């Protein structure tokens, strides 16, 4: 499934991946749709299945990132203890995602310390790469 393509889930036990996948919902959005807005409660994160989204800062509308790679995550505010999303996500074309509630994921990872360590190490790597991309945009 799509989780195998998500860098965030590489190395996690197959049993945990199956449990995580069972809790996910698939959602489709039309071009121009807003998946979430900056300031909304950060209770979910998303894995790209197909399409393209852009992340914008509000109120300026400044694009800070675009995502179109299968398996790429966005909405990571939900994974790092933030109460609200820091950006708005807008679909640039028809988009399909897997949606995960942070409570479900945290509950599953609490039951498997090794998978949790791998997951959070991979999350740190993904956030570091996103930060480097942001630096390039600034330059």
What are the boundaries of each domain within the chain?
2-103+111-131
pLDDT digits (tens, 9 = 90+) for 7-32: 778 888 888 888 888 989 999 999 99
CA 8 distance to own-chain centroid: 9
The pLDDT-based confidence of 33 (bands split at 50, 70, 90) is: very high
Give bridge partners of residue 90 from the DSSP assignment: 34, 54
Mean pLDDT, range 96-119, rounded to an integer: 92
Top pLDDT among 105 and 134 is at 105
The rounded Cα 46 to chain-centroid distance in angstroms is 4
Helix (H, G, I), strand (E, B) or coil at 50: strand
pLDDT at 41: 97
The model's confidence at residue 5, banded by pLDDT at 50, 70 and 90, is: low
Instruction: Please state which of the four CATH numbers 3.40.50.1370, 3.40.50.300, 2.60.120.10, 3.40.50.1110 is assigned to the domain occupying 2-103+111-131.
Output: 2.60.120.10
pTM of the model: 0.85
Res. 117: pLDDT tops 80:
yes
- As a whole number of angstroms, the distance between CA 23 and CA 29 comes to 20
Q: Would the CA dihedral through 9, 11, 16, 21 be positive or negative?
A: positive
**Model pLDDT for residues 47-59, shown as the tens digit of each residue:** 999 999 999 988 8
């Amino acid at each position: 499934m799509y989780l195998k393509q998500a860098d965030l889930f590489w190395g996690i036990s197959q049993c945990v991946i199956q449990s995580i996948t069972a809790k996910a919902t698939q959602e489709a959005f039309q071009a121009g749709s807003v998946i979430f807005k900056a300031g909304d409660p950060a209770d979910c994160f998303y894995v790209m299945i197909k399409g393209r989204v852009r992340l914008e800062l509000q109120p300026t509308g400044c694009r800070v990132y675009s995502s179109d790679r299968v398996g790429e995550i966005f909405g990571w505010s939900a994974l790092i203890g933030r109460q609200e999303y820091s950006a708005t996500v807008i679909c640039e074309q028809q988009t399909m995602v897997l949606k995960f509630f942070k409570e479900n994921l945290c509950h599953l990872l609490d039951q498997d310390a090794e998978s949790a360590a791998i997951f959070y190490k991979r999350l740190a790597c993904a956030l570091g790469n996103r930060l480097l991309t942001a630096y390039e945009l600034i330059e």
